[in-house]
A = this chain, B = another copy of it.
Amino acid sequence: MSATVARDETGQEVPSARQQAVLDAVLALLVEEGDQLTMDAVARRASCSKETLYKWFGDRDGLLTATVRWQASRVHAGRDAAGVLDAATLRERLLDFAVTWLDVIAGRTSVVLNRIAIAHAGSRKGNLGAIVLANGRLAIGGRVKPVLEAGRAAGLLAYEDGETAFRTFFGLVGRDIQIRLLLGDALDLDAAEIRRDAARAVDQFLALYGQARP
């Protein structure tokens, strides 16, 4: 109940350096060991006592939640410089989103964390799922939609419902990749393939929603 814990701009507690090390250990274990993560293993890996884990994170769910948040806090990078768009810039911005998104969902960490969250959503108390959703699908949506809006304002895109347009973009980019990875399909994408996929998705999106500037 100390009043000295740091908090970020949204009021979330930000873990101390030692706690971050513990959370990184959790991520490492998750990636290496598949998901049968035990508190003992975490304590051993992080060289801390189980009692400390329980003191800091409450229980196993708390540890998982903190881990997911911690990972999420790393992904939020990316600049969204605003301003009036031209066609080339719009394309480039969409391409950037697409590449970033594919990089994320194709990463081992994302796959494992999504698996955890999905399993969690299956057994009541589905806040983990909500967190992952908020920091994945919804976060990228929140960042892409303003770009689409700017594109429409500049006369480069035509659509009625921004949500629908974004979800189409999402579908064109992700296709079956995420579900296949979650289900254990090998399917490793290298950077070149990701760029190709992203470019194809952007081309298709612009073919559907783009229009020449009037």
Contact = CB atoms under 8 A, between A and B. Distances in A.
B170 A175 contact: yes
Given A112-B122, A119-B118, A179 B179 contact: yes
A119 B119 contact: yes
A29 interface: no
Interface stretch (A56-64, A69-77, A180-188): A180-188
Interface string A54-94: 00000000000000000000000000000000000000000
Contact of A137 (B122, B167, B180, B184): B180
A81 to B, nearest CB: 26
Contacts of A204: 168, 208
A174 interface: yes
A172 B170 contact: no
Contacts of A34: 122-124
A179 B178 contact: yes
Which interface class (under 10, 10 to 19, 20 to 34, 35 or more) fits A?
A: 35 or more
Contacts of A180: 133, 137
A121 interface: yes
A3 B163 CA distance: 57
A27 interface: no
A121 B130 contact: no
Contact of A133 (B35, B114, B175, B185): B185
B184 A176 contact: no
A2 interface: no
A36 B117 contact: no
6 contacts: A36-B123, A119-B119, A137-B180, A171-B172, A171-B176, A208-B208
Interface of A: 34-36, 112, 114-119, 121-124, 126, 129-130, 132-133, 137, 164, 167-168, 170-176, 178-180, 182-185, 200, 204, 207-208
